[in-house]
Amino acid sequence: MNTSNIPRSVENGIESIRKGELVLIYDAEDREGETDFVLPASSVTPRKVAYFRNEAGGLICIAIHPVAAEKLGLPLMSDILRNVNDTYSSLRRLVEEKGDLSYDKRSSFSLWVNHRATFTGITDRDRALTITKIGEAVERVLNGNDNSYDFYTEFRTPGHVSLLRAADRLLDERRGQTELSVALAVLAEIAPAMVICEMLDAESGGALSKAKAKAFASEHDVVFMEGKEIVEAFHARFLP
């Protein structure tokens, strides 16, 4: 890697997530304009799930590399709905259309799952179990030669953990929090299964401002990165 072209913030972020530590990623002013908590799935514990919901407050999701998603048989939810049978054909009308999302062309949502060993699936303990097992599944299908693993025997849906499928060409196709967090994992050479959660502001009722997110990062000694910095680092690593 040509580290001379990589922003210092991203170098620090790579070091943090290799240690299993929390980092913050701000996407862009012309996108959602949101900062997300980001943590490797392998580092999640019930206490960290509680921290995400109390301190960030958004939706706790797990972003997965597209190759892993394909191997696990995880399609986009929009594709599932486009292909429902005629009995439920009206569901096709729910799929996002051009112009529905002001910040992007499409969302990354796949299935919502629980691990089969969970009870309700919503508790911090249950969600931590589901998340860590998803991380293990991603690592297994990407790093091993075992093609016999069956995701559907270990997980069930509906569930309480939202799976996000990153775009096939990652940052060359889409630059949402899904792709940014997965790209960071690729840079860090860890399993590309990353837990993300939006930082919300109870006072304004909207997303936490960039200034407040940076102040949080400073106060809690957490690395803060901008999406454009991750894009720069990713291209420095993978483009000629």
Q: How far, in whole angstroms, is CA 173 from its chain's centroid?
A: 16
Q: Does the residue 93 lie in any domain?
A: no
The answer on pLDDT for 238 being more than 70 is yes
- CATH code at position 56: 3.90.870.10
pLDDT for res 130: 98
Q: Does the residue 91 lie in any domain?
A: no
Q: How far, in whole angstroms, is CA 43 from its chain's centroid?
A: 14
Give the number of domains in the chain.
Answer: 1
Q: Does the residue 39 lie in any domain?
A: yes
Q: Does the residue 186 lie in any domain?
A: yes
Report the predicted TM-score, pTM, of the whole model to 2 decimal places. 0.94
Taking only the tens place, the pLDDT of each residue in 1-32 is 445 578 999 999 999 999 999 999 999 999 99
pLDDT for res 110: 97
Q: Does the residue 18 lie in any domain?
A: yes
The answer on pLDDT for 159 being more than 70 is yes
pLDDT for res 1: 47
Q: Give the Cα separation of 161 and 177 in Å (integer).
A: 16
Q: Does the residue 81 lie in any domain?
A: no
Question: Domain span at residue 148?
Answer: 3-73+100-238
pLDDT for res 96: 85
140-161 average pLDDT score: 90
Closest alpha carbon to 193 in 110, 77, 69: 69
Q: How far, in whole angstroms, is CA 6 from its chain's centroid?
A: 22
The answer on pLDDT for 116 being more than 90 is yes
Spell 108-123 as b/e; 16+ CB within 10 A means b.
Answer: bbbbebbbeebeebee
Catalytic positions, written as ranges: 36, 61, 103, 114, 160, 198
Q: Does the residue 51 lie in any domain?
A: yes
Taking only the tens place, the pLDDT of each residue in 203-218 is 999 999 999 999 999 9
Q: Does the residue 32 lie in any domain?
A: yes
Taking only the tens place, the pLDDT of each residue in 47-91 is 999 999 999 999 999 999 999 999 999 999 999 999 999 999 999
| Mean pLDDT, the chain, whole residue set | 94
Q: Give the Cα separation of 115 and 49 in Å (integer).
A: 15
The answer on pLDDT for 107 being more than 50 is yes
